[in-house]
Structure 1
């Protein structure tokens, strides 16, 4: 047993210090990024935000909606083969990642879909990216799909970030336990403060010309701004995109003035009892559920939330004088704080 005594930080522990700037309006900044991916040399340009590959948020409807903003969606892995093949053969497939785990069926299904539709982006997703088997799967998928951009995770340390990039990942997904419906830290005691994880993993990835995606922990647009400031190339969102028309999930209605009004939607982690009952018949006897099921407020079309997110990022950029999103991490200075907001009238 050993103890690391260095301070590790989360989004709640810091604010971004403003800097003198010549930017006079939010409309003067560019929130898009352009990337050339390490293993494919392919290029992409857009707003580097990704809807999480949870079955509530990782939907085809979400991919169509976010694609209008230049953002991406990691589709959940439970769509049937024929639906995935049809989707990726169409124009909306350019805005999405094909997601899979590490089972033989997952790999077989990817191969089957790839025979009939071009798969340009692949999300290899497991809860524990530290298993040797995961590195082997990344290598196999890279060999089988040499022209696809591969995002793989999740990990929280620089050594495994480097290992995944060397194995064939273009983007490494960062985060263990920070998600709003993830209970891994409570159930297992395992995790790493998300802001420090992003900083350390981004440094490791960028040294190899790889990229990182910050996955989890964002609750407000300011957290997304901090993730970019910490070096994240992409930011993945689950809870912040839940509750919208483009999501899957049960909607709860209430009767108000004689009319049925949507008030809430179900949202759950993919390691929750709800998800495992739906897709695996229940929680296996040798493991514990590491997710929870909640109800989020119904929020209508995702368009409004995207406007709030992109507006927040633009405003942050004007505060620190970053005309382009790629400049943000170079112009960010974090200030440690003990409180962030004045909540005398509530936290909303």
Structure 2
């Protein structure tokens, strides 16, 4: 047993210090970013935000909607092959979409079936625990079999495993254990790492190898997304912040109001929750426990308004620190430790 005494930080522990700037308007900044990927040499340009591969948010309608913002989606892994083949035959939306694969053989068999019919430019290899040797081997296998695809793999929270996954064949490493809004891993296992420090440390390791990282989880407001970019995240993945929209596939709850039946909330749950395991795996296996919760989030209509808030918040952050391009943000970010962020006299 050992104790690390150096403080580790979450998004709530810091603010970004403003800097003198020549920018006079949010319209002057560019929130798109161009990446060249480590193993393929391919490039991609867009707003580097990804809807999480949860079955509520990682949907085909979400992919089509976010494509209009230049953003991405990691599709959930429960679509039938015919739906995936039809979607990847489309144009713009499919070019900004990750195909998600888990660890079981059925996932790989379905992927092989889809890949025989269509090109899959982006692959997300998704496990809760990216620290196993089996997962490293899975990344290497995926790279060998898909030399032209960009591969995102995770999740991890430390620099050593970030390097290991990049060397095994990942282009992007997904960072985060336990920070998600409907994840209870930290409660159930005591395992985790404060998300901002995880992003900073993993980004430092990845960038030394010319790879990228995706901050997965922990963002609750647009300012947290801004902090993730400031900490070195190349991509930011969102689940809860994108839940509750028309483009999601969660169960919608209605109420009678004025004689009309109106939507008021949507069910949202973690993919390691008993809700998800009952839906897809026949229940919680005897050797494990649920590590997710099920909640209701307010119904929020089309996702466009939320994306406008997110992009607007990122643009505003960039004007405060004088960053004309998104890629400049980490170099112009100074974090300030705080005891509190918000004046909550009129609520949160």
Partners of 1:163 and 1:104 lie apart in 2 by 23
Structure 1: runs of 5 or more not aligned: none
Confirm or deny: 8 A CA contact 1:50 1:234 kept in the other structure. Answer: yes
Partners of 1:18 and 1:319 lie apart in 2 by 5
CA deviations over 1:249-273 (Å, ceiling 9, x no partner): 1111111111111100000000000
**1:20 maps to what in 2?**
20
TM-superposed deviation, 1:243: 0.1
Instruction: Determine whether 1:126 maps to 2:127.
Output: yes
Secondary structure of residue in 2 paired with 1:138: helix
TM-superposed deviation, 1:90: 1.3
Q: Output the TM-score relative to the length of structure 2.
A: 0.99
Partners of 2:314 and 2:90 lie apart in 1 by 31
CA deviations over 1:208-253 (Å, ceiling 9, x no partner): 0000000000000000000000000000000000000000011111
Partners of 1:222 and 1:324 lie apart in 2 by 17
Structure 2: runs of 5 or more not aligned: none
**1:152 maps to what in 2?**
153
Indicate the RMSD between aligned Cα atoms, in angstroms.
0.5
**1:285 maps to what in 2?**
286
Structure 1 runs, 4 residues or longer, greater than 3 Å off: none
Confirm or deny: 8 A CA contact 1:32 1:45 kept in the other structure. Answer: yes
Count of aligned positions = 347
TM-superposed deviation, 1:105: 1.4
Partners of 2:166 and 2:108 lie apart in 1 by 20
Instruction: Determine whether 1:57 maps to 2:57.
Output: yes
Partners of 1:62 and 1:95 lie apart in 2 by 11
Map 1:64-213 onto structure 2 (within 5 A). 64-91=64-91, 92-213=93-214
Confirm or deny: 8 A CA contact 1:64 1:95 kept in the other structure. Answer: no
Secondary structure of residue in 2 paired with 1:58: coil
Partners of 1:142 and 1:338 lie apart in 2 by 44
Partners of 1:47 and 1:41 lie apart in 2 by 19
**1:268 maps to what in 2?**
269
Secondary structure of residue in 2 paired with 1:116: coil
Secondary structure of residue in 2 paired with 1:195: helix
CA deviations over 1:34-56 (Å, ceiling 9, x no partner): 00101000110000000000000
